[in-house]
Amino acid sequence: MTTETQRSGGIEVESLVREFKNGPRAVDGIDLEVARGEIYGFLGPNGAGKSTTVLMLTTLLPPTSGSARVGGFDVVEQGPQVRASIGAALQEAALDPLLTGREHMRLQTALHGLGKAERESRGNELLERVGLAHAADRKVGGYSGGMKRRLDLALALAHRPRILFLDEPTTGLDIQSRTALWEEVARLAAEDGVTVFLTTQYLEEADALANRVGIIDHGHLVAEGTPAELKAEIGRPTVEAAPREEGDRERMTAVLGRFGQGAGSSPRGVAVRLDGGESQLAEVVRALDAEGIAIEHLQLHAPSLDDVFLAKTGRSLEGAAEEEPADAETETAAPA
Amino acid sequence: MSSSLGNQVGQLARRSILRTLRQPAQIVPAIVFPLFLLAVNTGGLKEATNLPGFPTDSYLTFILAVPFIQGALFSVMNSGTDLARDIETGFLNRLALTPLRGAALLSGLLAGAFVLGVVQAAAYLAVGLIAGAELAAGPAGALVLVLLSVAITVAFGTIGLFAALRFGSGEAVQGLFPVFFVFLFLSAMTLPLDLLTTDWFHAIASVNPVTYLLEAIRSLLIEGWNLGDLALGFGIAAAIGALGMLAASSALKSRLVRT
Amino acid sequence: MSEQRTAGVRAVARGVAWRSIHNFLTNPAFLVPSLLFPLFFFVSFAGGLAAIGEVPGFDFPSGYTAFQFVFVLLQSAAFGGVFTGFAMARDFESGFGRRYMLAASHRSGIVLGYALAALFRAFVTWTVLSAVAVVAGMEIAGSGGEIVALYALAVLVNVAATMWAAGVALRVRSIQGGPLMQFPTFLVLFLAPVYVPLDLLSGWIHTIASINPVTALLEAGRGFISGDPVLAAAAFAIGLTLSLLFAAWARGGLRSAEAAG
C-alpha cells in the first residue's frame, strides 16, 4: 500500500488505540492514510478523540497499541525524526504572553537548530507571511485571538516541516480571521506541497479546505472520503413538504413515501430522502398535484457533511458533544 | 539540524530571564517584602542582643541572613509558577516538539532564578550595609555571600520546578509556600540555635537544614571566614539542588511522554 | 418602615453569611490555612522566641507564651477579616457579587453578612488557638471578666479589619485588590510591640509604635490576660472608632459597587 510519496511526506495509521486510566478508549482502532500534499480534515464533535489522535501522531502521547508512521517515520520508535519533519499548532495557541512575536520566532528557530543568520531571516519571512510583521515587537499578551493563531502557525512552520498538524486552528475566531487562515493553509498545501492534518468541529471548515475528510466519533473513524464522495454516499437530497390543509398531512406522507425513505418529520411537514436524487423533485410536485394536495411549503436540502455525520452516528454534529455521556439515550432519539 | 545543548540552554535562559524581568510584580515583592521584615525584626528584637551568649551586638547583622532565605523562597514560587503556566498553556508541548533536551529545559528555566537571586542578594546586602550591618569577611566575603545566596536560590528553584512538573498547576506551586514558611520559621531564624530555650523547638531547628544555611550566611557577616560553616551551607544547597533536579527530571519524564 | 428595613437587612445578611460560612467549612483550602497559620505563628513565636522573656527589663508576669498569645489572637482577628475581604473580592470578580446586588432588598445586609461570616471564622480559629495555648501551659492570671474583655477586643479588631477589607474589595472588585487589603494590615500589626513591650523598643520603631493604635490594643490585651488591666478604656475606644470608621469606608465601597453596576 505504501507508496514512495507517502513515505516521504504522508501519514499512515494502523489500528491506533489510546486508552486512558479509568476512562473509555479515547481512540479506538483508527486506520487512515494521508498522501503527501493532501489536506486531510479530521471532523468530529468535542471529545471524539481528535486531539488524542493528533497528540499521538505528533509523538507527544504514546499509543496504547497500533502503529503510525508520519513522514515515513514510526511515531514510537523514531520520535525525534518525526518531530523534525512535522510542525504543529495544537489546540491552545500556546504562547508566552510576556514575549514578543519576534522573540517567539527566535526561540523556536533556535531550538530547531537553524543558524544564526537564518533564524532572523526565516523569522521575518514567516512573520511577514502571516501578516504579523507590524506587530512583531509587541508582547503576545496584547495580541487578538486571530493574531495568536497566525503566530502559532508561523511558529509551526519555522523549520520548514513537510507535514503540518493543526488542531482546531480556527476555534473561537471570527469569520475574517478564519478565512485568512484557511487561505494560508490552502496555499501551503498547493504551493509548498505541505501535507496538512487538520482537526475541526466545523463542517464548513472541512468542506472548504479538506481534500479528504475522516469523521470520528467515540474514538472510531465512522466515515472517510472526499467531501463530495461522503455526501454522495448517503448523498440523496431531502425534500421537505408541508400541506396547506393540516388534514392532508397523512395523504402527503403516503405520496412522498413513494419517492424514498422518510428522513424524520419536521414540525413544518414531511421529509423524505429522494431515492432518485434531485431530478425527482418535479415528479414529487406532479404527484402531489395529481392527488389534489395543496402545498404550503416545499424545500429541497442538498446533503451536507452534517447529514453524513447524522447518517453515520445517528446524531447531529451540532450538539453531539453535549450529549456525549448519554450515548444510549441519544441513539434511541435519533431518526431512522 | 539539531542545536547544541549549550545553545538550547542559552535560548531558554534568555527567555526565562526576559520573562522574570518583565514581571515586576514578581521581582518587587521578592525584594521589598524581606526588607520590610528585616526592618521590623531589627527594630522589634534589638533587645535580644542583651541575652547572654548572643553572638553580636548588632541584631541587624544577625537577622540580615534571613532575607536571603526569604528571597530564595520567592524563587521557588516564581520558577515553579512560570513552568506551571507553560504546562497549563501548552507551551511545554510546543517546546517538546522541538529537538529540545530535558536537561536544557530545566537548566534554562533556572536561569531566571539565578538572575533574580543575584539581584536580590545584591539588594539585601546593599541595604543591610547601608543600614549599618557588619560584614566581617570583608569585600571577598560579599562575593561569597552573593554566591551562596544564589546557590540557595537556584537550589530552592529546582523544588519549584519539581512541583510544577509533578502537579502541573500554578495553584499547587503556590500551595508550597506555607510549607517553606514552616521550614523558615522553625529554624534558628530570629535567635541563634543555642538560645532556642524551648526543647522541642531546639530539636526541630537543629535538624532543619535552613538553620545551617542561615548559619553559613551569618558566619560571613558576624565571624569572618568559618570554613566549616560555609562548607556546610554550600553542601546543603548543593544537596537540595541535586535532589530537586533529580526529582524534577523524573517528573519531566512522566510529564513529557514524547517518544 | 424602619422595622421592615431591619428585617430585610437581617434576612440578606443571614443568606450571605450562610453561604460564606458554608464555603469556609466545606472547603479545606479555606478552612485549613485560617486554622493553621495563627497556630503556626503562635508556636514559632512563643516557642522560638521564648528566650526573649529572659531579656533584662522584660517583666511580663504571665510569661512569654501569654505575651505572644495576645498578639496572635489579635493578628488572627485582623487576618480573618482580611481573608473575608478576599472572598468578597473573588465573589465580585466572578459575578456572584452582582447576583447579591441584584437580589438583595437591602444591600448593607451583604456587607453585614460577610462580617458575620468573618466573625464566625474568627471564633473557630480562636477556639482552636486558645485550646492549644492552654494545653501548652499558658499562664492566665486575668479574671473571667478580663478574659471576656480580651475576646471582646478581638471581636472589635475583627470587625474593623473586615470593614477595611470590604471597603477595598467593593471598590476594586477583583482579587487583584488582595495585597491592598493585606499589606496595610500586616504593616500596622508589625509596627507595634510584637516581640517585646513598648518600653524595650528603641529608635524609629519605638516612635512609630508609640503612635500606632494597635499598640494600645496589644497592651490592653496583655493587661487583661495577666490580670493587670492597662489602657482598657482607650483600647475599646480605639477598637470602636476603627470599626465605625471602616464601616463608613465599607459603606462608601458599597456605593461605588452600586455605581459600577
pLDDT in tens, B227-244: 999 999 999 999 999 999
Residue C202, chain B, CB below 8 Å: the answer is yes
Q: Which candidate from A61, A86, A111 shows the least CB-CB separation from B257?
A: A61
Instruction: Give pLDDT, residue A5.
Output: 42
- Kindly state the average pLDDT of the residues A166-193: 88
Rounded to two decimals, the pTM is 0.76
More confident residue, B57 or A334: B57
Count of domains forming chain C: 1
Distance of alpha carbon C165 from alpha carbon C171, whole angstroms = 10
Is B259 within 8 Å of A84 when comparing Cβ atoms? no
Instruction: Give pLDDT, residue A332.
Output: 28
More confident residue, A160 or A274: A160
Give the helix/strand (H/E) hosting B187. none
Contact residues for C224 (Cβ-Cβ < 8 A; gap 6+): C70, C142, C146, C147, C149, C150, C153, C232
Contact residues for A279 (Cβ-Cβ < 8 A; gap 6+): none
Q: Is C158 exposed, middle or buried (0-12, 13-18, 19+ CB in 10 A)?
A: buried
Interface of B with A (CB under 8 A): 1-3, 7-8, 11-12, 14-15, 18-19, 22-23, 86, 89-100, 256-259
Which residues in B11-136 belong to E strands, given as ranges?
Answer: none
Per-residue pLDDT band for A319 (boundaries 50, 70, 90) equals low
Instruction: Give pLDDT, residue B208.
Output: 95
Interface test with C, best of B37, B195, B198, B199 (most C CBs within 10 A): B198
Is A58 within 8 Å of B90 when comparing Cβ atoms? no
Q: Which three cell numbers stand for residue A9?
A: 511526506
The vertex-C82 CA angle with C79 and C86, nearest 5°, equals 135
CB pairs under 8 A between B and C: 76
- Kindly state the average pLDDT of the residues B37-47: 89
- For every residue of C114-159, DSSP letters joined together read HHHHHHHHHHHHHHHHHHHHHHTT----S-HHHHHHHHHHHHHHHH
Instruction: Give pLDDT, residue C192.
Output: 93
Residue C9 has pLDDT above 50, yes or no: yes
pLDDT digits (tens, 9 = 90+) for B183-213: 888 999 999 999 998 888 999 999 999 999 9
CA distance B130 to chain C (A): 16
Contacts of C196 in chain B (CB under 8 A): 44-45, 47
Q: Give the percent of chain C with pLDDT over 70.
A: 99
pLDDT digits (tens, 9 = 90+) for C157-188: 999 999 999 999 999 888 778 888 888 998 89
Contacts of C58 in chain B (CB under 8 A): 47
Q: Which candidate from A82, A94, A114 shows the least CB-CB separation from B93?
A: A94
Residue C261 has pLDDT above 80, yes or no: no
User: With contact defined as beta carbons under 8 Å apart, do C139 and C56 qualify?
Assistant: no
Report chain A's mean pLDDT, rounded to a whole number. Answer: 83
pLDDT digits (tens, 9 = 90+) for A89-133: 887 778 888 889 999 998 888 888 888 888 899 999 999 988 899
Per-residue pLDDT band for B148 (boundaries 50, 70, 90) equals very high
Strands A269-274 and A260-266: antiparallel
Nearest to A104, CA basis, from A64, A66, A132 = A132
Helix pair angle (B209-218, B138-167), 10° resolution: 160
Report yes or no on chains B and A touching (3+ CB pairs under 8 A). yes
Residue C58, chain B, CB below 8 Å: the answer is yes
User: With contact defined as beta carbons under 8 Å apart, do A253 and A270 qualify?
Assistant: yes
Residues β-bridged to residue A28:
A17
Is C195 within 8 Å of B51 when comparing Cβ atoms? no
Distance of alpha carbon B19 from alpha carbon B4, whole angstroms = 23
Instruction: Give pLDDT, residue A133.
Output: 92
Which residues in chain B belong to E strands, given as ranges?
Answer: none
Interface test with B, best of A51, A57, A60, A92 (most B CBs within 10 A): A60
Report yes or no on chains C and A touching (3+ CB pairs under 8 A). no
Give the helix/strand (H/E) hosting A331. helix A327-333
Contacts of A113 in chain B (CB under 8 A): 1-3, 7, 99
CA distance A158 to chain B (A): 10
Instruction: Give pLDDT, residue B140.
Output: 95
Contacts of A90 in chain B (CB under 8 A): 90, 93-94
Is B40 within 8 Å of C196 when comparing Cβ atoms? no
Edge-to-edge strands of the sheet including A260-266?
A: A260-266, A269-274, A238-243, A295-301
User: With contact defined as beta carbons under 8 Å apart, do A223 and A42 qualify?
Assistant: no
Is C196 within 8 Å of B44 when comparing Cβ atoms? yes
Interface test with B, best of C35, C41, C180, C205 (most B CBs within 10 A): C205
Distance of alpha carbon A125 from alpha carbon A129, whole angstroms = 6
Instruction: Give pLDDT, residue A271.
Output: 81
Contact residues for A5 (Cβ-Cβ < 8 A; gap 6+): A35, A36
Contacts of B1 in chain A (CB under 8 A): 84, 112-114, 159
The residue in chain A having the minimum alpha-carbon distance to the alpha carbon of residue B20 is: A98
Phi, psi for C190 (deg, rounded to 5): -85, -10
pLDDT digits (tens, 9 = 90+) for C86-121: 889 988 888 888 888 877 777 888 999 999 999 999
pLDDT digits (tens, 9 = 90+) for C13-52: 888 888 888 888 887 777 787 888 888 889 888 888 989 9
Per-residue pLDDT band for B4 (boundaries 50, 70, 90) equals confident
How is residue A294 annotated by DSSP? P
Residue burial B228-259, b: 16+ Cβ < 10 Å; e: rest:
ebbebbbebbeebbeebbebbbebbeebbebb
Per-residue pLDDT band for B219 (boundaries 50, 70, 90) equals very high
Instruction: Give pLDDT, residue B23.
Output: 80
Contacts of C40 in chain B (CB under 8 A): 181-182, 185
Give the three-class secondary structure for B133: coil
Residue A86, chain B, CB below 8 Å: the answer is yes
Q: Which three cell numbers stand for residue B47?
A: 533587645
Is C203 within 8 Å of B190 when comparing Cβ atoms? no
Distance of alpha carbon C115 from alpha carbon C94, whole angstroms = 20
- Provide the residue range defining the domain that includes C57: 3-260
Distance of alpha carbon B38 from alpha carbon B42, whole angstroms = 6
CA distance B102 to chain C (A): 33
